[in-house]
Structure 1
Amino acid sequence: MNKTSVLVVDDSAFMRKLIAGFLNESGTCYAAGTARNGEDALEKVKALNPDVVTLDIEMPGMDGLQTLKRIMEGTPKPVIMFSGMTQRGADLTIQSLQMGAVDFIPKPSGAISLDLHKVKDDLIRKVEMAGQLKMKSITVNERNRPFNERKTSRLNSSMKVICIGTSTGGPRALQQVLPKLPADLNAPVFVVQHMPEGFTASLAARLDTLSRLTVKEAEDGELVKKATAYIAPGGTHMKVEESKSGLVIRLSKESLNTAHRPSVDVLFESLSLIKNVHKIAVIMTGMGSDGSEGLKKLKKSGSLHAISESEKTSVVFGMPKMAVETNAVDAVEHLEDIADAILKSVQS
């Protein structure tokens, strides 16, 4: 078996040594080299041609985002970001994922994390996954203009609901879907993005600035409104229940025997219990099979239009592939066409 070669980029010599050591001990990957800053990283990406790059977000000089942009435009590689567990770190992480980074690892205790061993297994797993990916050049063209038109009429029994599940590659995929939905969308949107606690608020805030919809992190007990996208908080399951006033969001940190929290299956299964509402379910890029069991329950429960992202545009064709294999998917769409497919189903 060929081992995955990795370029480790961090301005801390201690962190470079620690990360390289974890990789070399894994048996499945190794540190092909290290770089102390962005300029050094760009030279070594060309010289070493690594399978994967691990990249610290906050570095002096050319920072992680600038370095990522140059890598993706020039010699695209699967990049895994290392980020701090701060609000600034979370905001920068979300930007990096929307710019093309495939995943991220939170540093447990800041820039110099003596306890980095806590994320060792997560690092190896994500490097192994990233080593299997083929990246394309990405030109970053972000819209930062906020939309002010908002419509938030409440749900009624004749309404439709949209539910989206995604994982690896999801933040960039969501940026290609939610901003294309109109401000007067006649449905609420529920989103599960696999992400740890502390990062989904930044994801929701970033998507909100790009979208005509209201995009927010979901809150326990809030009454659902149309033209609003609710992001499940990191590390928390999101369910939707019926009440006398309409649909209500319920949040829980129970394990519920799922591999992920938040879980797409948990969201989908909760929606399968709601009658007289047409559901539009979307499974996008991600590793694993989360969403497939819930999709089958949605299909059995009544009116459903299920959409899967195509292999061509998926960063990881795991979750979409497993969704298709349930035979519950009605359409397979390229990422750039998913918003239009959602709208057609809402308007039909």
Structure 2
Amino acid sequence: MNQIKVLVVDDSAFMRKVVTDILQSDPAILVVGTARNGEDAALKNLKLKPDVITMDVEMPVLDGLGALKRIMKERPTPVVMVSSQTKIGGHTTMLAMEHGAVDFVSKTSGSISLDLFTIAELLKEKIKLAAGATVVIPDEMPKRDLPTVLMPPMASQIRKLVAIGVSTGGPKALKEVLMNIPTTLPAPIVIVQHMPQGFTKSLADRLNTLCDIHVKEASDGDILEKGTTYIAPGGKHMQVLEQSGEWICRLTTAPVVNGHRPSVDVLFHSIAKLKEGAVVAVVMTGMGSDGSEGLKQLKENPYCRSLAQSEETSVVFGMPKMAIRTTKVDEVVHLQDLAKRIVSSC
């Protein structure tokens, strides 16, 4: 088995050493070089040809975001951002995900994280995942006209809901979808994006500045409104319940499901219990199988339409693939066509 070649980028010599030691403790990973800033990283990406790059966000000369843009232009390579869990760090990380970063790991103690070893296993797992990920360049995504798909008609008087589950590669994919959803969508949208606490607020705020529809991090007790998108907070499960004739968000800190909190299955299972209504269920890019079991229950509703993101446009095809294997997916759709299909399904 070939080792995964990694380039470690950080302006702190101490952090470069810490990250290198963590990664090289795994025999499957080989650190082929380090870089002290974004300019150095871009040059060494061309010279060393790593399989994966770990990239600090805040650096002199050329910061992580600038380096990422250059890398994606010169030699597209899977990048895992190493971010500080601050408001600025969270915002910059969301920008990095938009511009092609595969995933990120949060430094737990600021820019120089003395306890990075506490997330050592997570960092190694992210590197291995990134090595098998697809770097999706928007201009190179396959283009096609949407075929006509025959589905049972949804009566106009039936309440509608769009439910989306997504993980690795999600921020960039959600931007592509939500920017193309009109404010006239006759349904609220609820989203579970696998992401740590703190970063879902940055994601929601960023998407809200880009989209015509309103995007917010969900709060417990939110009444779901048409044309509004609710993103489950990191560290909390989100359910949709009916209360006094309204659909509301209920947030809990119940145990993790499928290794995640929030979990797509928790959201889907809750929606399946609603007494009435039609749902468009969407499973997008991500690792694992979260959402598949919930999708089976959702499809017991004759007014459930289910979509899965295509392999060609997924950074990681795990979640869509497992959803498709349930045989409960009505259509596999390219990322750039998902918004159009969601709208037409409502």
Measured against the shorter chain, the TM-score band is over 0.9
SS across alignment from 2:215: strand
CA distance in structure 2 between the partners assigned to 1:127 and 1:138 by the alignment: 23
Q: Deviations over 1:103-132 (max 9, x none)?
A: 001001011111110110001001011111
CA distance in structure 1 between the partners assigned to 2:329 and 2:137 by the alignment: 30
Note the C-alpha offset of 1:6. Answer: 0.2
Note the C-alpha offset of 1:179. Answer: 1.1
Q: AA paired with 2:8?
A: V
Note the C-alpha offset of 1:224. Answer: 1.0
CA distance in structure 2 between the partners assigned to 1:137 and 1:45 by the alignment: 18
1:308-347 correspondence to structure 2 within 5 Å: 308-346=308-346
Note the C-alpha offset of 1:300. Answer: 1.7
Note the C-alpha offset of 1:256. Answer: 5.2
Tell me: CA distance 1:136–1:299, structure 2 relative to 1, closer, same or farther (3 Å). Answer: closer
CA distance in structure 2 between the partners assigned to 1:134 and 1:273 by the alignment: 36
The equivalent of 1:246 in structure 2 is: 246
CA distance in structure 1 between the partners assigned to 2:322 and 2:136 by the alignment: 24
Using the size of structure 1 for normalisation, the TM-score is 0.93
* Identical-residue share of aligned pairs (%): 51
Q: 4+ residue stretches of structure 1 with deviation over 3 A?
A: 136-139
The equivalent of 2:46 in structure 1 is: 46
The equivalent of 1:145 in structure 2 is: none
Segments of 5+ residues of structure 2 without an aligned counterpart are 140-155
Q: Deviations over 1:209-232 (max 9, x none)?
A: 111111000000111111000000
Q: AA paired with 1:158?
A: I
Q: Is 1:303 matched up with 2:294?
A: no
1:174-189 correspondence to structure 2 within 5 Å: 174-189=174-189
1:1-348 correspondence to structure 2 within 5 Å: 1-137=1-137, 158-255=158-255, 257-346=257-346
SS across alignment from 1:235: coil
**C-alpha contact 1:163 1:190 (8 A) present in aligned 2:** yes
Q: AA paired with 1:208?
A: N
CA distance in structure 2 between the partners assigned to 1:201 and 1:24 by the alignment: 33
Note the C-alpha offset of 1:173. Answer: 0.2
Note the C-alpha offset of 1:157. Answer: 7.0
Q: AA paired with 1:199?
A: F
SS across alignment from 1:338: helix
SS across alignment from 1:135: coil
The equivalent of 2:147 in structure 1 is: none
CA distance in structure 2 between the partners assigned to 1:60 and 1:257 by the alignment: 40
Count of residues in correspondence between the two structures: 331
Q: AA paired with 1:277?
A: G
Q: Deviations over 1:116-161 (max 9, x none)?
A: 101100010010111112425467xxxxxxxxxxxxxxxx972210
